[in-house]
């Protein structure tokens, strides 16, 4: 089955008992056991038919052994790190999601896990960061908010040569654009609150493992820790995912148009977009991604006020988050990455002036006109 067909018919996509074209929302917390132990389900934290449907679907889409659904992307990430023990060491990308940085810095370090942060595009730096205690390499590509692209295959090879797990947060691409398990990655994570859900109306996390053994271990932790996705949200997520292909095609087209516009706009100093042929990661992005994603970050020329620019926009909404049908814009230094100490943030290349745009699926004419009127507003200041 092709990817776009799997979105509609993959995993469990309908109700076998009635022929209903949508999986029922099974709210039951407990299930009758005709004889002790003889039932497919017993308690909904352990397994729930509605959640199972979306778990099967994401496993199908990513091409992994099994999927697991969590209450949020953050809950998924925390559950993955619960595979490990105090003293274990990790090599982590230097441009990870702000909330992941917060989890590592304020929670996981306190529990005794240790981390070395590197630019995972630099394969020598990745190798040098590995110690005898290292258990995994954890990264995002493209990164947030600078959209840096790491060669997934190369890093996974380094991981496996050193008996480490490779873990990738695939949120920014969605499986439409990139399927890391095809490059031998062990664990793929999604904040499904973004492209997979796609409508700014469900917080969810999904995980897919390459092999079944690891899925078993995570299944145990999912049940033990209990940060599961509710039946209602599982249903909402699966409904959103059915249109991922349609949405991504529109996202990608619009992102191209916005990139074109921004690259001709003289008030823009710098653009970060893997689809820019002049971007240093363009070649790798082209090799491993099916399209370049719909996230574009940029800096205005010095002296121009990024807050005034984003506050003037009318169609593009000033808000955190990304990956929804609506175009969303934000200033990482003041919003999504505000919890990272300024010095660390600047050292990682995230300037105060940086603007991050999640290009939605509106008519591109309206998006370009909105950007234009906001640039004109800056000019008039």
Mark whether 45 is an active-site residue: yes
CA distance 48 to 27: 9
> Where would I find the beta strands (DSSP E) of the chain?
66-70, 89-93, 114-118, 134-140, 165-169, 187-191, 205-209, 268-272, 295-300, 317-318, 328-330, 354-358
167 phi and psi, to 5 degrees? Answer: -125, 125
- Angstrom CA distances, 127 to 82, 130, 157, 166, 188, stand at 24, 6, 11, 13, 21
DSSP string, 288-332: H-SS--SEEEEEEPTT--HHHHHHH-SSSEE-S--SSSS-EEE-T
Residue 380 neighbours by CB distance under 10 Å: 6
Q: x/- string (CB under 6 A) for ligand PLP, residues 326-355?
A: ------------------------------
Tell me if 374 contacts ligand PLP by CB under 6 A.
no
Among positive and negative, which fits the CA dihedral 311, 336, 257, 303? positive
Distance CA 130, CA 258 (A): 40
What is the smallest separation between the CB atom of 15 and ligand PLP, expressed in angstroms?
Answer: 27
C-beta closer to ligand PLP: residue 57 or 207 = 207
Helix (H, G, I), strand (E, B) or coil at 285: helix
Min separation Cβ 176 and ligand PLP, Å:
16
Binding positions for ligand PLP, 190-209, rule CB under 6 A: 191, 193-194, 203, 205
How far apart are CB 322 and ligand PLP at their closest, in Å? Answer: 6
- Closer CB to ligand PLP, residue 194 or residue 345? 194
Nearest to 320 by CA among 349, 367, 357: 357
Q: Choosing from 60, 95, 169, 281, which is the catalytic residue?
A: 169
Tell the residue number behind the tokens 């899925």, with chain if given.
Answer: 215
Catalytic residue among 121, 194, 345, 356: 194
String of contacts with ligand PLP for each residue 168-187, x by CB under 6 A: -x-xx---------------
* Residue 14 CB, nearest approach to ligand PLP (Å): 27
- Please report how close the Cβ of residue 321 comes to ligand PLP at its closest, in angstroms: 7
Question: Residue 330: which of 348, 347, 349, 313 has the closest Cα?
Answer: 313
Q: How many residues bind ligand PLP (CB under 6 A)?
A: 16
- Cβ closest to ligand PLP, residue 100 vs residue 374: 100
Q: How far, in Å, CA of 119 to CA of 322, rounded?
A: 23
Nearer to ligand PLP, 267 or 335 (CB): 335
For residue 229, the 8-state DSSP code is P
Q: Taking CB under 6 A as the rule, does residue 99 contact ligand PLP?
A: yes
User: Is 51 one of the annotated active-site residues of the chain?
Assistant: no
The CB-nearest residue to ligand PLP is 73
Q: With contact defined as beta carbons under 8 Å apart, do 82 and 112 qualify?
A: no
* Catalytic option among 15, 41, 45, 105: 45
| Active-site position among 97, 195, 272, 273 | 97
Q: Which is nearer to ligand PLP, 59 or 202 (CB)?
A: 202
Alpha carbon distance 190, 197 (integer Å)? 10
Q: How far is the CB of 219 from ligand PLP (least distance, A)?
A: 20
129 to 168, contacts with ligand PLP by CB under 6 A?
140, 144
Binding mask 53-82 for ligand PLP (x = CB under 6 A): -------------------xxx--------
Active site residues: 45, 97, 169, 194
Query: Which residues lie near ligand PLP (CB under 6 A)?
Result: 72-74, 97, 99-100, 140, 144, 169, 171-172, 191, 193-194, 203, 205
């Amino acid at each position: 089955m092709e990817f776009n067909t799997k979105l509609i018919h993959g995993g469990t996509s309908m109700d076998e008992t009635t022929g209903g074209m949508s999986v029922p929302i099974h709210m039951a917390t407990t299930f009758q056991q005709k004889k002790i132990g003889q039932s497919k389900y017993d308690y909904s934290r352990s397994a729930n038919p509605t959640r199972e449907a979306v778990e099967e679907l994401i496993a199908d889409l990513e091409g992994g052994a099994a999927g697991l659904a969590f209450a949020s992307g953050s809950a998924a990430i925390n559950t993955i790190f619960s595979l490990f023990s105090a003293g274990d060491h990790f090599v982590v990308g230097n441009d990870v999601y702000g909330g992941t940085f917060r989890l590592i810095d304020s929670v996981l370090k306190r529990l005794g896990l240790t981390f070395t942060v590197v630019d995972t595009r630099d394969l020598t730096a990745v190798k040098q960061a590995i110690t005898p205690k290292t258990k995994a390499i954890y990264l995002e590509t493209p990164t947030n908010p600078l959209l840096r692209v790491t060669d997934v295959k190369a890093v996974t090879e380094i991981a496996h040569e050193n008996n480490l797990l490779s873990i990738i947060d695939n949120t920014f691409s969605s499986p439409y654009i990139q399927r890391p398990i095809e490059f031998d990655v062990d664990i793929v994570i999604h904040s499904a609150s973004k492209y997979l859900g796609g409508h700014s109306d469900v917080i969810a996390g999904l995980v897919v493992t390459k092999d079944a053994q690891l899925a078993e271990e995570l299944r145990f932790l999912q049940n033990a820790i209990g940060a599961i996705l509710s039946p209602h949200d599982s249903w909402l997520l699966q409904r959103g995912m059915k249109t991922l292909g349609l949405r991504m095609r529109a996202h990608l087209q619009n992102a191209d148009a916005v990139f074109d516009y921004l690259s001709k706009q003289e008030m823009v100093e710098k653009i970060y977009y893997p689809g820019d042929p002049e971007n240093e990661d363009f070649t790798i992005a082209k090799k491993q991604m099916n399209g370049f994603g719909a996230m574009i970050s940029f800096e205005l020329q010095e002296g121009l006020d990024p807050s005034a620019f984003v506050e003037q926009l009318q169609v593009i909404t000033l808000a955190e988050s990304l990956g929804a049908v609506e175009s969303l814009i934000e200033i990482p230094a003041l919003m999504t990455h505000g919890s990272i100490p300024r010095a660390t943030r600047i050292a990682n290349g995230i300037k105060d002036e940086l603007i991050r745009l999640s290009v939605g699926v509106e008519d591109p004419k309206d998006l370009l006109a909105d950007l234009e009127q906001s640039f004109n507003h800056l000019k008039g200041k």
